């Protein structure tokens, strides 16, 4: 994949703790117009205690994670982070670029970098979830080769589209076959014993 950042921008791999400080500061600014809620608001004490317990069980030191921060002149201007969802699936959880730095290819760079890293780890599926009307991101991901694989009604975020990238082209081709978009080729016929 040939892609590069605009002049003056750098991407840094960050620890989860280092990344969290930036994310907590900047995410509310980027997503201020979104109508979601903090699950802690429902029952803060019980939720936090149980969440911490569940997180310790789920997040292990060996779980594969990516935390990328984008900096321009030493100022944090964007990010992308995700984690191993299952043994075969990587979840691109959240990415954003601050408004003054958009339309420069930074989001595309981050998306390609995360896909590259997750693919190199051997994940068969790389997925993300997006609000159905977030056209800029949906178009960018579809151009990259992501496919619509699911719709979700989330009580927190509303209507979401799941997009999945298949590092192995044959899996993407099989999805096209399964959706009725294309007929099976020789390779698929062999796989399906047709």
The reply to whether 151 falls in a domain is: yes
Give the DSSP letter of residue 41.
G
Domain range for 15 is 9-192
The reply to whether 97 falls in a domain is: yes
Whole-number pLDDT of residue 40? 65
The reply to whether 89 falls in a domain is: yes
User: How far is residue 123's CA from residue 168's CA, in Å, rounded to a whole number?
Assistant: 10
The reply to whether 166 falls in a domain is: yes
Kindly state the helix (H) or strand (E) to which residue 189 belongs, with its residue range.
helix 186-192
Looking up residue 177, the CATH number of its domain turns out to be 3.40.630.30
pLDDT at 31 over 60: yes
Helix 135-144 and helix 106-121: axis angle, to 10°? Answer: 50
> Taking the complete model, does pTM exceed 0.75, yes or no?
yes
* pLDDT tens for each residue of 138-174: 999 999 999 999 999 999 999 999 999 999 999 999 9
The reply to whether 41 falls in a domain is: yes
The reply to whether 32 falls in a domain is: yes
Give the DSSP letter of residue 159.
E
The reply to whether 2 falls in a domain is: no
The reply to whether 1 falls in a domain is: no
Considering only CA atoms, which of 151, 67, 60 is closest in space to residue 110? 67
Q: How many independent structural domains does the chain possess?
A: 1
Phi, psi for residue 13 in degrees, rounded to 5: -75, 130
| Distance, CA of 15 to chain centre | 17
* pLDDT tens for each residue of 61-111: 789 999 999 999 999 999 999 999 999 999 999 999 999 999 999 999 999
């Amino acid at each position: 994949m040939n892609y590069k950042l605009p002049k003056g921008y750098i991407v840094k791999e960050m620890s989860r703790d280092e990344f969290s400080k930036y994310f907590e500061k900047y995410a509310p600014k980027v997503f201020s117009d979104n109508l979601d809620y903090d699950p802690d608001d429902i029952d803060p004490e019980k939720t936090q205690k149980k969440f911490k317990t569940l997180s310790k069980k789920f997040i292990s030191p060996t779980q594969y994670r990516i935390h990328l921060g984008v900096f321009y002149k030493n100022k944090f201007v964007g990010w992308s982070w995700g984690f191993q969802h299952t043994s075969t699936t990587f979840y691109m959880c959240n990415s954003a670029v601050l408004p003054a730095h958009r339309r420069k290819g930074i989001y595309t760079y981050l998306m390609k970098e995360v896909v590259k890293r997750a693919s190199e780890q051997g994940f068969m599926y790389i997925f993300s979830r997006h609000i159905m009307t977030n056209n800029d991101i949906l178009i960018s991901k579809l151009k990259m080769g992501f496919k619509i694989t699911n719709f979700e009604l989330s009580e927190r975020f509303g209507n979401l589209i799941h997009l999945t990238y298949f590092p192995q082209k044959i899996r993407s081709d099989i999805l096209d076959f399964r959706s009725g978009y294309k007929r099976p080729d020789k390779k698929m016929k062999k796989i399906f014993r047709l």
